[in-house]
Structures are given as C-alpha cells and as structure tokens.
Amino acid sequence: MFKNQRYLTRGVYSEIPLELQLFMWECIDRLPENRDYFQVFKLENINDIQRITHFSEQPEYSMQYLIPTIANPITAKVYVIDDGDHSTMLLAEEY
C-alpha cells in the first residue's frame, strides 16, 4: 500500500502547506507494511501549535504530533486513499 504514484487534490494544494503535505506522506511511509488503504489526518491549531492526529481503522492505529514551527497552523481533515493504482491526498469535504 502507498508505494505507487501519489496525487493530491486542488483543495489540498491550495489549503495545506507543502511542509505538512510532505509530513503526512512521511507518516504513512513510516507505518508497518500492514496498512489500511484509508488514512486520516486531523489538523488542528492549538494555541498556535500545529497538532496532527493520524489514525486508521484496520489495523487500528493512532498517533499524535505537535509541530510548533508551522507559521500559520491550520484546521482541516485530510484523507489519504490508496486504490491500488495510485494514492490520493484530499480534504474530507472533497470526498
């Protein structure tokens, strides 16, 4: 899973800073090989610190990251889906 061509939607391109996009891809790359095809990232601005909660259902996984160096922390929910041919990063409202 997630070893194929990677794409992102216009929403991700325009709303999610590149450094966060790369960080989320890296989080997926660091997962064990037994990965869910559907990964979820919840991004929150907590007192000007970027909090990212990464989770999936099968197998159950959850990890939280705090990134104090992001200039303008954002709030969004991002899905990353592997359909076998390619992987796509999209905003939840684009699903």
pLDDT tens for residues 18-54? 999 999 999 999 998 889 999 999 999 999 999 999 9
Helices (H), the chain: 10-15, 18-29
The structure tokens 């684009």 sit at 94
CATH number of 68's domain: 3.10.450.150
Q: Would you say residue 62 has pLDDT above 90? A: yes
Tokens 């200039």 belong to residue: 71
Range of the domain at 87: 5-94
pLDDT value, residue 39:
98
* The pLDDT of residue 69 is above 90: no
Domain count for the chain, please give it: 1
Q: For residue 67, which of 85, 84, 54 has the smallest C-alpha distance?
A: 54
pLDDT band at 70 (very low <50, low <70, confident <90, very high): confident
> How far separated are the first and last CA of the chain, in Å rounded?
20
Its pTM stands at 0.95
